[in-house]
């Protein structure tokens, strides 16, 4: 060690809770367990989650997890693989012990938050259960799923979902991987014709998959039928060697998801049986005849589910960062407010509260909005099973909108929270950097945000046009028709209901203006595609406001709706404070758009500022109890700053002592490089 252990012990972490943090818990108006039960979805759900998490995390070295960033790329992949497989083993044992014929533990929880602590660098088999198994369940015929889908679900084989290419991402019709049907052999022949055609980015593809679901352009008699899914084997099941015609490997280190083993895949004349094309909706017969899917969206439905998951997960990431920064702000003392008094907890500074509390409120808002989205997803799944596809456009648009706004807001929010931790937030042991790069990745994967906003914009144009004809609209866009019927906003009152209406009104009028611009360009003779391109900025603005209007509405309904009668007065007051903060701060953030359409006076704006400052004061006593109610374990947070005991300084120091650089008093570079240079005559 660089310093004698007789001077500084091997571990300096006390066994007691920081008194400032304990004081916060003792002084809260709401019990953290009550908030946790609400956050989880009920007492029984909370109890279940905690029981599973305790089982998964026993015998795991929390302090070792803090050293993840000190490992090499290869060591990180091996470490993540070991953690993922240990988690799978434990979930299987739980399933066998508690419900042998069920799936509530394994595999249902493998992509759940309870697994996060075991794989801080990401799960190399996460995509297999988040996307691949779900895609096979939705797209395979029953015979196909029995043939190879079940093997994957049981983890007898391992695989990933390969769609993105080196040269193409969100624009699926531009994918270059092709699958040509060979009638003579009743096979498809798959090729990636050039470097830009290589599959690039799939999680777990590098060295953690022996099978792959490949999105490729289907060709019959050299005529393209569009993107379809093909299940192929890429590695030998016993030796794990790549099969003939398969070029596969890891794409290298990334900013985040450092343990996920993202990979590349090249194919050269790889042949698979015709029955390896997923054929629940579209089919290719042995004679080469083609039966198209009833709707093209079904081909991409796995991405819709993943976007729903992103909205939920990014809300949870923001909650995790909020927990770390809030607990740290309760134990850090600095910069006297009154020079005659002791340095205060930095959480007492109003400017610090403004960094912390809005992000807590935002995470809660997005979590509630994502719950609505998941309910819509479940209903749509049932509709599809019954041959009904009417909800698909709304679900697609809403999942895009929430994915975009939640990824944007969580990314910026985590960065604000890192800054709220001062210099120590810059340590990798704070885990703020890992949370940030995980959050910001969602701005790009499963549809780059700008591209998704443009898709939402086109949906809004169709919906606006439909509303003009009096056609019925899906629930989440009915406000467009209401604004068409009642074009005047009325009086600004500043009530919650009024603020929801204002955000919808701004979104509707942004949609109206975009529709007007699009129509003007079409009337001047521009093509539909060029008109849409030239109206793209207005599309994205309308789309973003549409997403924000939905969050306003969903969060307000949760807090003020019928279920509020089942909650305690104290919990309701805390939720109302969070709602007040979210609506007021986001209304102020979007004031540039609102003022264009709604007449707000200087007095109205001053009142909003007063409300903002007032609700920060109201939330101050409950901030720690709320983030405790997010119910993260120390292993899940993996942070020296955010542990439950609040011993931040000792944990920072302990992590530094365990740094590999400090295991020798003198580094090799001193003798080989530094000392010879200093002793030279140069």
The annotation places the binding site at 164, 203
What does the angle CA 252 – CA 253 – CA 256 come to, to the nearest 5 degrees? 135
What whole-number distance in Å separates Cα of residue 44 and Cα of residue 21? Answer: 28
What one-character-per-residue DSSP string does 606-662 give?
Answer: HHHHHHHHHHHHHHGGGHHHHHHHT---HHHH--SSS-TT--HHHHHHHHHHTSGGG
CA 394 – CA 392 distance, rounded (Å): 6
The position carrying tokens 């899906």 is 474
The CA distance from 377 to 388, in Å, is: 13
Q: What angle do CA 633, 85, 166 make, to 5 degrees?
A: 100
Residue 233 β-bridge partners: 211
CA 512 to CA 147: how far, in whole Å? Answer: 51
Closest-CA residue to 409 (of 322, 510, 497, 514): 322
Dist. CA 593–CA 33, nearest whole Å: 39
Q: What residues form DSSP beta bridges with 235?
A: 242
User: What is the C-alpha separation between 468 and 460, in angstroms, rounded?
Assistant: 12
311 three-class SS: helix
Measure the CA–CA gap between 518 and 530, rounded to whole angstroms.
10
Question: Whole-angstrom Cα distance, residue 53 to residue 35?
Answer: 18
CA quadruple 112, 117, 121, 123: dihedral positive or negative? negative
In angstroms, how far is CA 129 from the centroid of its own chain?
15
Annotated binding site for FAD: 164, 203
446 carries an active-site annotation: yes
CA distances 57 to 39, 119, 120, 500, Å, are 21, 11, 12, 42
Q: Between helices 536-560 and 496-523, what is the axis angle to 10°?
A: 160
Alpha-carbon distances, residue 363 vs 198, 316, 437 (angstroms): 37, 7, 17
From 57, 446, 538, 580, the catalytic residue: 446
481-489: long-range contacts at Cβ-Cβ below 8 A with a sequence spacing of 24 or more? 482/508, 483/508, 483/509, 483/512, 484/508, 489/597, 489/598, 489/599
Active site residues: 446
């Amino acid at each position: 060690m660089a310093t004698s252990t007789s001077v500084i012990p091997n571990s300096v972490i006390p066994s007691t809770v920081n008194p400032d943090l304990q004081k916060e818990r003792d002084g809260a108006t709401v019990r953290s367990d009550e908030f946790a039960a609400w956050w989880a979805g009920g007492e029984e759900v909370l109890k279940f989650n905690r029981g599973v998490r305790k089982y998964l995390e026993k015998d795991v070295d929390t302090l070792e997890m803090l050293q993840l960033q000190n490992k090499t790329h290869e060591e990180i992949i091996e470490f993540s693989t070991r953690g993922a497989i240990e988690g799978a083993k434990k979930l299987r044992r739980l399933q066998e012990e508690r419900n042998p014929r069920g799936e509530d533990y394994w595999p249902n929880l493998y992509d759940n938050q309870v697994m996060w602590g075991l794989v801080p660098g990401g799960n190399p088999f996460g995509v297999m259960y988040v996307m691949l198994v779900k895609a096979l369940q939705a797209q395979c015929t029953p015979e196909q799923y029995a043939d190879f889908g079940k093997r994957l679900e049981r983890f007898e084989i391992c695989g990933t979902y390969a769609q993105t290419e080196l040269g193409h991402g969100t624009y699926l019709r531009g994918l270059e991987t092709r699958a040509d049907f060979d009638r003579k052999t009743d096979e498809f022949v798959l090729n990636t014709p050039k470097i830009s055609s290589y599959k690039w980015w799939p999680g777990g593809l590098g060295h953690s998959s022996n099978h792959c679901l490949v999105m490729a352009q289907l060709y019959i008699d050299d005529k393209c039928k569009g993107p379809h899914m093909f299940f192929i084997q890429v590695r030998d099941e016993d030796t794990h060697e790549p099969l003939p015609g398969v070029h596969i490997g890891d794409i290298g280190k990334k900013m985040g998801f450092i343990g996920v083993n993202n990979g590349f895949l090249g194919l050269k004349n790889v042949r698979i049986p015709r029955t390896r094309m997923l054929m629940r909706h579209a089919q290719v017969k042995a004679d080469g005849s083609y039966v198209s899917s009833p709707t093209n969206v079904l081909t991409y439905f796995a991405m819709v589910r993943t976007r729903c998951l992103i909205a939920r997960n990014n809300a949870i990431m923001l909650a995790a960062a909020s927990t770390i920064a809030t607990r740290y702000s309760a134990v850090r003392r600095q910069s006297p407010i009154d020079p005659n008094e002791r340095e205060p907890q930095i959480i007492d500074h109003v400017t610090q509260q403004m960094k912390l509390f809005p992000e807590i409120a935002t995470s809660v808002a997005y979590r509630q909005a994502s719950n609505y989205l998941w309910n819509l997803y479940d209903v749509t799944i049932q509709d599809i099973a019954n041959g009904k596809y009417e909800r698909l456009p709304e679900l697609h648009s809403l999942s895009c909108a929430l994915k975009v706004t939640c990824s944007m807001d969580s990314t910026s929010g985590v960065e604000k929270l890192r800054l709220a931790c001062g210099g120590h937030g810059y340590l990798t042991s704070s885990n703020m950097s890992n949370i940030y790069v995980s959050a910001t990745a969602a701005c790009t994967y499963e549809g780059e945000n700008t591209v998704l906003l443009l898709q939402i914009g086109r949906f809004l144009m169709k919906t606006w046009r439909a509303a003009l004809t009096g056609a019925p609209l899906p629930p989440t866009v009915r406000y467009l028709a209401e604004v068409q019927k009642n074009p005047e906003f009325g009086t600004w009152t500043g009530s919650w209901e009024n603020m929801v209406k204002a955000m919808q009104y701004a979104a509707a009028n942004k949609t109206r203006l975009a529709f007007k611009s699009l129509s003007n360009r079409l009337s001047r003779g521009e093509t539909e595609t060029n008109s849409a391109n030239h109206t793209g900025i207005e599309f994205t603005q309308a789309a973003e406001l549409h997403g924000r209007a939905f969050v306003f509405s969903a969060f307000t309904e949760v807090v003020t709706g019928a279920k509020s009668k089942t909650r305690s007065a104290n919990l309701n007051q805390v939720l109302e404070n969070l709602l007040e903060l979210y609506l007021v701060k986001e209304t102020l953030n979007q004031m540039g758009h609102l003022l264009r359409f709604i007449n707000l006076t200087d007095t109205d704006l001053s009142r909003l500022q007063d409300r903002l400052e007032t609700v920060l004061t109201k939330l101050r006593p409950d901030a720690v109890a709320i983030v405790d109610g997010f119910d993260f374990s120390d292993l899940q947070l993996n942070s020296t700053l955010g542990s439950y005991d609040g011993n931040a300084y000792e944990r920072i120091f302990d992590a530094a002592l365990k740094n590999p650089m400090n295991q020798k008093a003198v580094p090799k570079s001193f003798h080989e490089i530094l000392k010879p240079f200093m002793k030279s005559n140069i």
